[in-house]
Amino acid sequence: MAQLPEGSNVLYSKYIYEGEYRYLYVWYEQNGVRRTEKFLDTAPAPDRATASPKTKSVSNYPPREVNRPIAVPINKPAPKKVDKPVLKVKAPTAVGKFSFNMEEPAKKEITVPQPPPAPGPKPEYSIPEKKQTSVTKFEYLYGIKHLEIKHTQYSNKSVYVSKPISVSGNVMTVAMESIEEHPLFDELTGKAASRQTSVEYYIASVGTNPNPTLDDWHPILPESEKTVKSELLMFGTARTAELRFPALIGSTEIPKVYKNGLEMEDDEWSFIDGGFGVQLLVDKDPTGIYTINYTPNAEFYNPWSIDINQQGGRPTTHTQVFESGTNHNKTLVLEKYPYVDYEKINNTIGYDPNTSDYQPIKVTLEDAGIYGPNKTTYRRVEAYTGEDTQKVFTKNITNYKTGAESEPKKYSLDDENPYNGFDYYQKEDKLYFTETFNKADIITNDEDAHGNASIKVEYQYLSSDFRMKIILRRNSTDENTLTPIVHEYTLKFKVMK
């Protein structure tokens, strides 16, 4: 037998003729891998006519199923012979009938026989190796290098002031609501106050003064708070302190004064000035913190609603000039809502907004070119005074008593039905006219536009801009880290339009 690698185990062998030569094929196993070897037989070849088509194996070892097939050349059928294409030559075209054929000639594909592909390399059996992934890990050790213990002292009060809040209309009254949170303190022998923090609210009108002074701030109480709790008492040299609101002395909620959270006896303090202040009847402790719980006396001062007039609010005179007349629909929009004193109007018999002493609005036409009767031109038109000598005038036809709308008459130079007045009426912050007063060329003016003019409007308004101030207090020296919290607040304005 041909020489095999050392350690080979022969499984099966067979002689196979290939042309004029005979080969010996040996199937064997080496190190658990099945392989095949081919050897040329150098012995004289026997006569094929007498030789058996199958030669006995040199080993009687029974053949096993081999997982890998042996690559054997595939005998493909010979390709068919393809005749060469015959090119047909057309006869020459006669003179005068010659034409160009611009189309590309059709292409024909010719199949050419190709040799069979060579057998590929023999695959080798191998055991897949497991992949390994390396991971780098870092270990850290944290520690404290420097440690310091400090003490922070918090302030016993904080102040918040809002930006100006604008309101559309003439504000008559202001009310508010809020959501607060107060920390509770443990009771001491039943005499400690349940709450030692407080929140104070103030409202100021900033219509004419954007930076209100101390006297401009007016205290107000949320509508849900029926009593004042833990209000700080700041005593002077006479051991007296003013309250934010007058106290109701005979209320069912008995007023109580506390010193450092402990309730004082009734004979140690008393109300003064009808409940507008408190006086100590014992010596004042300079280091003590005094607070009071009481019910406001709404008959003297309503703590839940601020009346702007009652608090000194006065109408402010305002002037606006519209140099280009009205807008396209003959309307003016004022910056403020005009203030109308209905008390004066209702108390005046036969009230007329043009001739009575109180006039909410006054309109004048200035720098004008108004085409008047007898082909005259007017440079200024005054408000109506009721005198017959006025050639042209502006007239307020607003019915302030009933609120009914009046139909304005149009300015007319008709000889049969002349009218020399420019009527207008007020509705909220708007003035409605019969003309636009913005046509420059008075020569081409028609019946709906009798000239151009700047419109000057004089009126009064109440304050419509306000500021809110909130003071948060901690009325205790024991709990330095606790504070009251205001989660939200809401202002309610009652306006007159």
pLDDT of 107: 56
Kindly give the pairing relationship between strand 218-220 and strand 377-378: unpaired
pLDDT of 495: 83
Q: What is the maximum alpha-carbon separation in the chain? A: 159
Distance from the Cα of residue 67 to its chain's centroid: 72
Distance CA 401, CA 11 (A): 127
Distance CA 137, CA 129 (A): 25
Q: Each residue of 208-251: pLDDT tens digit?
A: 677 888 888 999 999 999 999 999 999 988 899 999 999 998 77
413 pLDDT band, cuts 50/70/90, is: confident
pTM for the model stands at 0.57
Among all chains, which residue has been given the structure tokens 């005094």? 290
* Higher pLDDT among residues 62 and 107, named by residue: 107
Which residues are CB-contacts of 317 (< 8 A; sequence separation ≥ 6)? 458, 459, 460
- Inform me whether the pLDDT recorded for 422 exceeds 90: yes
Among all chains, which residue has been given the structure tokens 């309730």? 263
pLDDT of 334: 93
The amino acid that residue 59 corresponds to is S
Question: In this structure, what are the phi and psi dihedrals at residue 150, rounded to the nearest 5 degrees?
Answer: -125, 165
pLDDT of 307: 86
Distance CA 487, CA 219 (A): 19
Cβ(57)–Cβ(13) under 8 Å? yes
Alpha helices in 314-453 (DSSP H): 342-346
Of 5-19, 47-61, 102-116, 345-359, highest mean pLDDT: 345-359
pLDDT of 50: 45
Residue 130, token pair as written in the block: 């497991």
Q: Each residue of 128-155: pLDDT tens digit?
A: 666 777 888 888 888 888 888 876 777 8
Report the chain's mean pLDDT, rounded to a whole number. 80
Cβ(170)–Cβ(495) under 8 Å? yes
The sign of the CA dihedral 350, 352, 355, 356 is positive
Mean pLDDT of the region 389-406: 89
DSSP, collapsed to helix, strand or coil, labels residue 245 as: coil
pLDDT of 59: 42
The sign of the CA dihedral 169, 174, 175, 181 is positive
- Inform me whether the pLDDT recorded for 281 exceeds 90: yes
Mean pLDDT of the region 12-21: 79
* Higher pLDDT among residues 108 and 426, named by residue: 426
- Inform me whether the pLDDT recorded for 350 exceeds 70: yes
Which residues are CB-contacts of 85 (< 8 A; sequence separation ≥ 6)? 108, 110
As beta bridge partners, residue 427 has: 430
Q: Each residue of 182-201: pLDDT tens digit?
A: 887 654 444 555 688 999 99
